[in-house]
Structures are given as structure tokens and as C-alpha cells.
Amino acid sequence: MVLESQLSALQENCGWEPFNGKLYLFSTDEKNWTDSRDACVTMGGHLVIIESEDERIFLQGHVNVDDISYWIGLTDSVEEDNWSWVDNTAFNSHSDFWYDKEPDNWIEDGKHPEGEDCAHMKDGHNGRFMDAFCFHNKKRICESKAHSSQCSHGG
């Protein structure tokens, strides 16, 4: 009962939304992937690590609005085609977490030979992941298992 009231207070006052024992914040501002990762850490969390289909569906319900993209905590910037989460755990998921023909590591006609190394979720793609250039600005989904009473949301 106490935990539920604390979670409710965080949601009302800070914008964090509870689901299955975790808290999520959907930013209103946009940053590149690295700055988004750092912003989540500053708020006492990290870019979201999606561990189940239920969690992906919950996030999809928030992402499917107004053609907006949200960074998630998944990258292959260390080693191409070796996707891992921000906590360095390997991405061990079904291919159906990716949108059709993703990840495609697009290099934009040779303009960006490093390709697309950061993952995001976007409206219109049923909560499926897409890879993108990490320098693009997008909103972000932060996740926290525990949250301090301080509400620093940075968007």
C-alpha cells in the first residue's frame, strides 16, 4: 500500500509512470542518443531496457502518438550487429521486436559510413524497433527501478 502511494505520487509530481514494478519517463524534449542516455542517468535511471513482450506492448501504448520517435537503451555502436543494452547485457530477443527489414544499418548513400547504431521506437511501427543514426535528436524513454524523491526530469 505504501509503495503504491509512493508510485502514484511520483507519477503525479514527476511524470514517471509505473508498470510491473518499474517506473518510466517519456521525455518531452529531444536529444541525441548519447545525451539521452546521460539525461536518464542524471535522473537516477537509464534508457529503457525492454525485457518482455508485455513491457514492449506497454511502451508501444505510449509511443503510438503523433509520429514521434523515442530512443531506447539498445545500441550496436561497440561492435556492428552485436546489439546490447545500456547495462551491457546482450540483446537476446526474438527478431519480431524489430520492424520489418530492421536493423538495416543504413549509411545514407555513403554520407555516414558508420551506419545506424542506436535503436528507437516510433509511432506507426507497432512498438517495433528501428535502428537510426545516434546523432539524430529524438525523445527518450527513461526507466528506473527505484526513484529518489527528487524530481529532476529534464523534459
Q: Residue 39 maps to which CATH number?
A: 3.10.100.10
Is residue 151 one of the residues assigned to a domain?
A: no
- Please list the pLDDT of the chain residue by residue as tens digits (155 residues): 445 555 555 455 478 999 999 999 999 999 999 999 999 999 999 999 998 889 999 999 888 777 789 999 999 999 988 999 999 999 976 667 888 888 888 887 777 778 899 999 987 777 789 999 999 999 999 999 865 444 654 55
Residue 9 belongs to a domain:
no
- Residue 15: per-residue pLDDT: 86
What's the longest Cα–Cα distance across the chain? 56
Q: Is residue 19 in some structural domain?
A: no
- Using DSSP, state whether 73 is helix, strand or coil: strand
What global pTM score does this model have? Answer: 0.83
Q: Determine, yes or no, domain membership for 110.
A: yes
Its domain, for residue 136, covers 27-144
E-strand spans in 16-134? Answer: 17-19, 22-26, 46-47, 69-75, 84-85, 118-122, 129-132
Domain count, the chain: 1
